[in-house]
Structure formats: structure tokens, C-alpha cells
Structure 1
Amino acid sequence: MEQENKFNTESLVQENQEQEINLLEMAAKLWSSRRIILKWVGIGIVIGLIVAFSIPKEYSSSVKLSPELSNSGSSGSGMSALASLAGINMNSGNSSDAVYPELYPDVVSSIPFTVSLLSVPVQTEDNKVITVQEFLEEETSAPWWSAILKLPFKAIGAVKGLFSESNEAESDTINAYNLTLEQYTLVKALSSRINADVDSKSLVVTISSMMQDPKVAAQLADTVTSRLQKYITSYRTEKARQDLYYAKKINEEARQAYYTAQKNYATASDRNQSLSSRAAAIAIERMQNEASLAFNLYNSTAQRVQIAEAKVQETTPVFAVVQPATVPVKAAKPSKAAILIGFVFLAFVASAAYILFLPGLKESIKSVAKNRTTLQLQD
């Protein structure tokens, strides 16, 4: 048993020594070919600089807001506080709202919401006022290699256009229900430039936009925030606004009925003022009662309108803007240093692989070819 352990120990020591020898040999081989590595690294630096300066600058602007939650009750607030410490949100379970803050990113990235942003006017850094769609189509550039990669697809599209029998004129308006391929590509391009993120603990919503113009980025972030607030407000107050509309409608009907009954009572009183007929007195009394009932109904519906207006105000959510949109000073992308370091690293790895493995690969290929030739001659 002791001999086996001793043998295993000696074999491990021998393997470690062989690995150290192999690493030293590889390091020596790389050092002896350092000129080749330096050439490859120099080429990587040149390519990295070309790529870094070819990518257009992108500017990012963000807004942080804290939405008001509509909780159905305060029961379980202690459990919610304990759960929040563990990163679990229990407020959404008690909310009567179907659009939770966790769903805000889905609302922002939806096609109808994105399509509504295309017609928003924005002012560029050179004080040019255009729509978001025009900015994406005319003022947004791409790296030079993307144009080369798109040439085959453009050629295919041109050929299809020549053989297409459709002569229908394209409409300038975008229908969110029925998008063309070009419109869908544009909508997806804009959707990828806006983002909404929700903190699971604090429920603070961060809305950000990425554009090639700093002023447009700030304006777009502010517009997305206001549009999202309007969407949530419209949803939260929809039932209360419908109740207010119905209350105003029946109040107007009651007002007209009261005015009509009051007018009839006044007319009958004036006509029968000098008469002492019992029938006329009863008719006047009946009209007076009808006018009183109409006034009571009108008064109660007016109170109902006031209650409905207060309900609309009560259900209107309040959004606390923690951080407003500002015009960015520095570009968020691209990171020229990161691109340069990445290309230098790739050049070093490629040159090391070329020095260490290519000679052995060539020799193995030659030996295989030589063995095949020998076998063929023997046959």
C-alpha cells in the first residue's frame, strides 16, 4: 500500500514537472518570436482604432420616477416590509391595479406605444426640428461595413421590386395593426433604443433612451416618460371617468326636467291666478309637487357629479420624478478603450496560436500525406 502511494506521488510530481517544462518551452518559443507578436499586435491596434472611430457616437439619457401604488388595504404591511428586505415584492398582490410597475417595460416596448413615438417632433443639436421617424431615417448613421453587408439584401430587394406587379402607393401613416417590412424594421430599431427597467425592491422605474444626438436622447426619454404616465393615468381613472360622464349625463337630464316642471308650474299659476276652481288648485298643487321632486332629483344628481369628480381626482396616480431627463455631455457608446484592448488581446491570442500550433499542424499534415503516399506506393 505504501509503495502504491509512493508511486502515485512520484507520478504526480513527474506530471507537474512536465507541465512546467511545457509551459517554459511555450514561453521561450513566444519570446523568441516576439517580433511576430509585436507585428500582429500593431495590426490589431490599427484595426481597433479604425473600428472604434468608425462606430457613431451614441448618447444616453434617463429618467427615474417612483409611481404611486393603489393598494386595496393596509393589512399585511408588516409582512410586505419583511419581504422587501428579502427582495420580494408583495405590494403588487394587494394592488387593485392590473398594470403593475413590473409591466411598464412591456408597455414601453409594445408596438402601439413605439409607433406613437415616431411622430413626436424633436429638436436636434443644430436646432433642426424633425420627427423621431425622420431622425432615424435621415440623421442616424451606421458603420461603413454595415452598408457593405446590406448590399446583397438591397440588390435582392431591387430585383424583387422590378418583378413585382404591385403598383399601390405606400401611405405615409403607419398602421400599428398592419406594418410593412420597412415599417416593422423602423419600429424595432426605435424599440431597441428605449428601455424601461424596474427595481424589484423600491419599484423605482428607470426610463432610458439611446440616440446619436444628445438633445434628441433627452427629449425622447422625457417623451416616453410623459406618454407612460398618461397611459397609466388613463387606465387607472377609466372607471371613474366613465362614472363621471354618466353622472353628468343624468344631472343634465334632471336639470332639463326640473326647468320644464318649474316652467309648467309658473305658467299654470299665472293662468289660474284669478280663478277659485278646486280643480285648478289641485292641478297647480300637483305641478308644484312635480317641480319639487324634479328639484330634489336635480340636487341629488348634482351631488353625485361632485362625488364622481372627487373620485377621478382620488384615483389619478401621482408620479414622483426622482431624476429628470438631462442632455448628456459625454457619449455612452462606443468605448474606444475597450474596443482597442479587445483587438489587441485578439491579435496576441491569434499570433500566439500561429506561433505555437501552426508549425506542428503543418508537420502533422505533411506526415499524414507522406504516410498516404507510402501506402499507395506499397499497394
Structure 2
Amino acid sequence: MNEIDKQQTKLKKIEEQEIDLLELAHKVWNGKKLIFKACGVAVVLGLIVAFSIPKEYTTTVVLAPEAKAKGGAGNLGALASMAGINIGAVSGDEALSPEIYPDIVKSTPFLVDLFPVKIKPISDEKAMGLFEYMDKHQRTPWWGIITSAPFKAVGWAVSLFKDKPQGATADKPDVFRLTQEQAEIAKGISDRIVTSVDKKNGMISISVTMQDPLVSATLTDTVMQNLQDYITRYRTNKAKQDLEYTEKLYKEAQQNYYEAQQKYANFADSNLDIVMTGYQTRLERLQNEATLAYGLYNQISQQLQLAKAKVQEVTPVYTVVQPASVPLRPTSPQKPIILIGFVFLAFVGSVGWILFIKDLVKQFKRS
């Protein structure tokens, strides 16, 4: 009997659940007009929002860095061995890790260097600096203007009683002391640049999103060139310093050799008929000095060639896999997704009102 009672109880629960679901479905069906109205309003609001958001275009470039050979200095090592020089101890300079490339692009000096970059919007015949474009030619949604108006008014009022820092301009900003406007522009540029590095193959991707397709492509190409220049300066800085020092030694050794050679020649020419021992000793000493000066001059000459080769060896080479190209279609806003999102929220909200909130409101009013 107990088992039969349990089965009957389960059947009753299942029937009650089915009845509850049918009641819920019936409630939703009776409130279908409200659902349709809510979805209709959502469509209108979604279209207003979607068409109020400015279009933005994204340009992406992909770089492939030159692969470094492991366990040696390559052609530089062969040249050094021919010159009889061991560079094993000096060829272990560390390269700049690609993992910090995004941090370099986001750094304040790198961003400030982009301020004077000349760009030309596709809808404007006049070229302008990036700072001016970001400051005066950015479109914002209507609700953004409304929400930011009080803050702008307060900022304008405060600026009337503050002294502006002297000596810093948009073209030549003081990185150590940026103005509030310059800091905001730098952050705005930073938010629009995305740099990523594929750890598997070392590919470097740089993407820039702007409201103008031509500005997006121009700035992407500029960021790529500036990043390459930064890495090149970092990689070649030590080698160039060594080259400058070697060139200085080379000039000194060359001058010493020429002077020693000239002294030997002058002394020999002025004493052709003298066979005294003192003369021969002095002549041999001058000859030895000239020989030593030549040996030093020859050795430093080889080191100079090696230093020049070192600069070439450490200079990074990048292959542009995907160059910058003016985008034809905007990447945002995605109007269909915005529209679907508004309709979905309206549907869920109206169904929730019909099933739960409406009854709760009635009970609250009765109490």
C-alpha cells in the first residue's frame, strides 16, 4: 500500500506542475498585447540608440619580426673570427621582449609623440594634428552630451581660477607635466589602440579604432612605424655607442700612426749619409714606434668594421604581413545586435511583469 500511495503522490505532483505551467502560459497569452507593445517600443528605442552611436572603423596591421638564430652571432661571429676577435662575451645582449610591446604603446611618451601627427579625415579637406582631431572633431551620442554637460560646466568654472602651465603646447607637450586636457586626450588615444603579441609565432598585431576610416588607417601605420623605431633605438643604442667610441679610437690611432710614420721618414731623410750607432738606434726606435702604431691602427680598424657590422646585426627587421588599409565598413555600432538586445530585454521584462510583478503589486495595494 505504501508504494501505491507514493506513486499516486508523484502523479498528483506532476499533474499540479502541468497545471501550473498551463496557468503561466495562459497568463502570458492573455498579456500578449502588453508584450507586443513593449517589444514595439523596444524596437523604436533600439533604432534610436543604434543610429545615435557614431560609426567607428578599425584598421589592423600584422608584423612578423625577424627570427634570431640561437647559439651564435651569425655573420658577425664569422667576421669576428676572421679578424681574430672573440665576441662570445659581448654578443649576449638581451632583446626587448615582445610581451612588453603593448605597454610601450600605452606609455605616456609614446602617446604624446602621436599628438602632432598630421591626419586628414575623409570628410574634411584640411589636414590637422591628431590632438586637434581628438579634441574638436569627435562625435558623441546625444545622451553623452547630456550626461557630460554638468561636469564640463564645473570644469570650465574651475579653469577660470587656475593658471595654465606655461611652455607646454599641443605640438610640444611637457610629458613630465601634462595638462588635464592633454591627459584626457592621451587616455582617449590609448583606449583606441590595441596591441597584441602571439606567443606561439611572435606575430605582432596593432589595431586602431577611429570614427573616420582614413584617420584609422593613417594612425595605425604611424603607430606601427613609431613602435618599430622605438625597438630599433633600444636594440641599437649600445652598439651605436660602441661604434662612436671605436670611431674615436680609430681617428686617434690613425693620427698617431701617421705622425710616427712621418717622424721616421723625416729622420731617415735628414740623415741619409750618417752611419753612427746612435743614429741607427734612434732610427730603429722610430721604426718600431711606427710599426707599433700601425699594428694598433690596423687592429682598431678591424674593430671599427666589426662595430659597424654589429649595428647592422642588432638592427631588427620586421616583415609587414598585413599592411594598413582604409576600412570600407564600420566595426561598430552593430545595429542588429543592439536591436535584438532591446527586444529581448523588453520581452523578458514584460513576461516578468505579467507572471510575477503584477500580482505582487496587487497584493501590496490590497495590504
Which TM-score tier does this pair reach, normalised by the shorter chain? Answer: 0.7 to 0.9
SS in 2 for 1:117: coil
Cα displacement string for residues 149-171 of structure 1 (whole angstroms, at most 9, x for unaligned residues)? 11111122133234x25365472
For residue 237 of structure 1, give the secondary structure of its aligned residue in structure 2: helix
After alignment, is 206-215 or 222-231 more displaced?
Answer: 222-231
Answering whether residue 228 of structure 2 is matched by residue 229 of structure 1, we say yes
1:274, distance to aligned residue in structure 2 (A)? 5.3
Q: Distance in 1 between matches of 2:128 and 2:121?
A: 8
Distance 1:241 1:6 in 2: 94
Q: Deviations over 1:292-332 (max 9, x none)?
A: 22122111111111111112222222222221111111001
Alpha carbons of 1:193 and 1:167: their partners in 2 closer, same or farther (altered >3 Å)?
A: closer
2:114 corresponds in structure 1 to 117
- RMSD across aligned C-alpha pairs, in angstroms? 2.5
1:351 CA drift (Å): 2.1
Structure-2 residue corresponding to 1:319: 318
Q: Contact 2:46–2:338 (CA<8 Å) still a contact in 1?
A: yes
Q: Does 1:184 align with 2:183?
A: yes
TM-fit CA distance, 1:18: 3.1
Q: Of the candidates 84, 104, 108, which is equivalent to residue 105 of structure 2?
A: 108
How many residue pairs are counted as aligned between the two chains? 345
Q: Is the 8 A contact 1:237 1:316 kept in 2?
A: yes
Match of 2:46 in 1: 48
Q: Which amino acid aligns with 2:300?
A: T
Is structure 2 residue 212 aligned with structure 1 residue 213?
yes
Q: CA deviation digits over 1:183-212, x for unaligned, max 9?
A: 221111101111111223222111111011
Instruction: Extract unaligned runs of 5+ from structure 2.
Output: 73-91
Residue pair 2:168, 2:174 contacting (<8 A) in 1 also: no
Distance in 2 (CA, whole Å) between partners of 1:226 and 1:280 is 65
Closer, same or farther: CA 239–6 of 1 in aligned 2, 3 Å: farther
Question: Is the Cα–Cα contact under 8 Å of residues 70 and 96 in structure 1 kept in the other structure?
Answer: no
1:355 is matched with 354
1:77 is aligned to none
Q: Hey, what does 2:159 align to over in structure 1?
A: 161
1:332 partner SS = coil
Q: Which amino acid in structure 2 is aligned with residue 110 of structure 1? A: S
Structure 2 CA distance for partners of 1:167 and 1:48, relative to 1, 3 Å = closer
Contact kept, 8 Å, 2:42 with 2:346, in 1: the verdict is yes
**3-state secondary structure, aligned to 1:188:** helix
Q: Distance in 2 between matches of 1:233 and 1:206?
A: 18
**Cα distance change, pair 305–343 in 1 and its aligned pair in 2 (3 A):** same
Corresponding residue for residue 146 of structure 1: 144
- Tell me if the contact between 1:265 and 1:284 (Cα under 8 Å) persists in the aligned partners: yes
Question: Which SS does the other structure have where 2:299 is aligned?
Answer: helix
Matched, 1:21 2:19: yes
1:320 corresponds to which letter in structure 2?
Answer: T
1:54 and 1:144 in contact (8 A); partners too: yes
User: Structure 2 matches for 1:120-135, cutoff 5 A?
Assistant: 120-125=117-122, 126-135=124-133
Which residue is equivalent to 1:195?
Answer: 194
SS in 1 for 2:159: helix
Say which SS state the counterpart of residue 56 (structure 1) adopts. Answer: coil
Alignment of 1:86-105 (within 5 A): 97=94, 99-105=96-102
The separation in 2 between residues aligned to 1:10 and 1:264, in whole angstroms, is 125
Q: Tell me the residue number matched to 2:344.
A: 345
Indicate conservation of the 8 Å contact 2:66/2:317, yes or no: yes
Gaps of 5+ in 1: 75-94, 369-379
How far apart are residue 278 of structure 1 and its match? 4.4
Residue 4 of structure 1 deviates from its aligned partner by 6.4
In the alignment, the residues of structure 2 paired with residue 208 and residue 214 of structure 1 have an alpha-carbon distance, to the nearest angstrom, of: 12
Q: Provide closer, same or farther for how the CA distance between residues 358 and 319 of structure 1 changes in structure 2, counting only shifts above 3 A.
A: same
- Counterpart amino acid of 2:112? V
How far apart, in 2, do the equivalents of 1:5 and 1:202 lie? 68
Identity %: 45
The yes-or-no answer on 1:288 pairing with 2:287 is yes
TM-score (norm 1): 0.83
| AA matched with 1:61 | T
Specify the SS of the correspondent of 2:113. Answer: helix
Which residue number in structure 1 is paired with residue 306 of structure 2?
Answer: 307
Q: What is the distance in 2 between the residues matched to 1:262 and 1:96? A: 39
Instruction: Tell me: CA distance 1:159–1:290, structure 2 relative to 1, closer, same or farther (3 Å).
Output: same
Distance across 1 between alignment mates of 2:265 and 2:10: 117
TM-fit CA distance, 1:230: 1.9
Contact 1:118 1:131 in 2 (8 A): yes
CA distance 1:96–1:30, change in 2 (3 Å):
farther
Question: 1:167, 1:235 → 2: CA distance?
Answer: 35
CA gap of 1:170–1:143, structure 2 versus 1, over 3 A, is farther
AA of the residue aligned to 2:360: L
Return the alpha-carbon distance in structure 1 between the equivalents of residues 265 and 127 of structure 2: 63
For residue 341 of structure 1, report the CA deviation from its aligned partner. Answer: 1.0
For residues 99 and 3 of structure 1, do their structure 2 counterparts lie closer, same or farther at Cα, with a shift above 3 Å needed?
Answer: farther
2:23 maps to amino acid: E
